[in-house]
Structure 1
Amino acid sequence: MQQADHEIEDRLFRNVMGSFATGVTVITTEVAEEVHGMTANAFMSISLNPKLVAISIGENAKMLQHIKDAKQFAINILSSDQEIVSKQFSGQLNLKSEMTFESYKGLPVLEGSLAIVTCVLHSEFVAGDHTIFIGHVTGVQLEEKAPLLYSQGKYRELKELEG
C-alpha cells in the first residue's frame, strides 16, 4: 500500500482533497490563561451516543501541543460573514487588533459563529503526519446563519438550488 502513495503526486492529492467542499472552523483552547486558535476544516461528527466529534491537527501545528496540554477544545463553526476570522487564524492575515473571545463551558469561543461545539479530550490517534483528536461533547450552541464554505482554494457561500 505504501508504494502506491509514492505514485500519487503530492500537489495532485492536495488538489483532489481540496475539491471537497467543507465548512470552516476555528479550533480554540486555553493554556496557562493564554488563548490559542487555529483555522481547520478537518472536523467531523463521530458518534451520537456518546456524543463524539473529531478534529485532525498536523504534526507541525502549534495547536497540537496546546490541545494535549489543555485536554479540552472548542470548535467554532464559522458563519459566512467570518472569512476574515478564518484568514486571521490560518496565518493569512495579521490583524493589529486582538480577537475578542467569549467564554462558554470554560473555553474561549468566537462571537458571531454559526455554531459552537465544546469538548473534553476523549482520545487521540496518530495517523500519518496528523493527530486525530476525539472530543467528548460538553456543550453546543447554534445560531440562524449561513455557513462559510471552502473548496478549491476559495471561500464560498451556500446557495439553494431551485427545483
Structure 2
Amino acid sequence: MTPRARQQTPAAAQSRAAVSPDTSSSIDPREFRRTLGRFATGVTVITTVSGATVHGMTANAFMSVSLDPPLVTVAVDHRARMHRLLEETGRYGVSILAENQELLARHFGGRPQVSEEPRFEWQHGLPLIEGAVAHLVCRIVQAVPAGDHTLFIGQVEHLDCRDGAPLLFYGGNYRCLEVQLHDSGAWWW
C-alpha cells in the first residue's frame, strides 16, 4: 500500500455496489418530468431502417458516453415501436437538429406535420435528417434496461457536423440558442 492510499469508507463501498432502484418512490412522475425539464438539452431524431421502411423518433435523452471507443447512448421507452426496431436492426442514426427543424422534431415526436416532408441523406446504410447540425451512425454494442426505458449504447461508426445553431428543448418547449457576447476577461476560461 502506498503512503497516499485511501481507506474505503462504507459510503464509498456502497456507491460502487450495484443498487437496484426503489420502485416504491414517492416522487410524482409529473413533478419529476417538470423538474428535469429545467435541464436544457439538444433535440435529436433517432432513425433506423427495417426492410425498406425508414423509422424515426424524436429524442432528447441522448448523450456521449466514451471517447475511446467512441460511444453514445439514447434512452428509449419500452413501449415505443423504436425499442423493438432497435433490438431487431442493431443500428441507429442520430441527427442533432438545427434551430429551424422544430417541425421535424414534432413530426418524429408523434405529431405528423403535413407541411414538413422529411428529407434524408444516407450514410453507411442509415437515413439521417438533411440539414441537421450533426450526424452519427451507430452500431448497438449494449442495451441496458433502466426502469421503463432501455439505454441503447452505440459505437459511432461515422460522424459529421456543420456550423449552425441547434434546436433546444427546455421546460417542455422547443427553444433556440441565444448567443451572448461577453468580454472574455470577465469569464473564468
1:9 deviates by 1.2
Q: 1:88 to 1:124 in 2, by over 3 A?
A: same
1:40 deviates by 0.2
Question: How do 1:3-14 and structure 2 match up within 5 A?
Answer: 5=25, 7-14=26-33
Q: Is 1:130 matched up with 2:143?
A: no
Q: Which moved more, 1:86-95 or 1:132-141?
A: 86-95
**5, 9, 29: which one pairs with 2:48?**
29
Q: Is 1:114 matched up with 2:133?
A: yes
Q: 1:127 to 1:162 in 2, by over 3 A?
A: same
Answer whether contact 2:101 2:167 (CA < 8 A) is retained.
yes
**91, 110, 124: which one pairs with 1:91?**
110
Distance 2:124 2:47 in 1: 12
Q: Is 1:156 matched up with 2:156?
A: no
Q: Is 1:2 matched up with 2:22?
A: yes
What corresponds to 1:77 in structure 2?
A: 96
Distance 1:143 1:81 in 2: 14
1:160 deviates by 2.1
Structure 1 unaligned regions, length at least 5: none
Question: TM-score, structure 1 length as denominator?
Answer: 0.94
State the one-letter code of the partner of 2:146.
A
State the one-letter code of the partner of 1:67.
L
Deviations 1:83-117 (A, max 9, x none): 00000000123426642222111101110000001
Distance 1:4 1:58 in 2: 20
What corresponds to 2:8 in structure 1?
A: none
Structure 2 unaligned regions, length at least 5: 1-20, 183-189
**21, 44, 63: which one pairs with 1:44?**
63
Larger Rg: 2
Q: 1:97 to 1:159 in 2, by over 3 A?
A: closer
Q: 1:3 to 1:99 in 2, by over 3 A?
A: closer
Pairs aligned (count): 162
Runs of 4+ residues over 4 Å off in structure 1: none
Q: Which has the higher contact order (CA 8 A, sep 6+)?
A: 1
Structure having the higher strand fraction is 1
State the one-letter code of the partner of 1:44.
M
* Percent identity over paired residues: 41
Distance 1:120 1:74 in 2: 9
State the one-letter code of the partner of 2:70.
K
| Partner-residue secondary structure (3-state), 2:34 | helix
Supply the RMSD in Å over aligned alpha carbons: 1.5
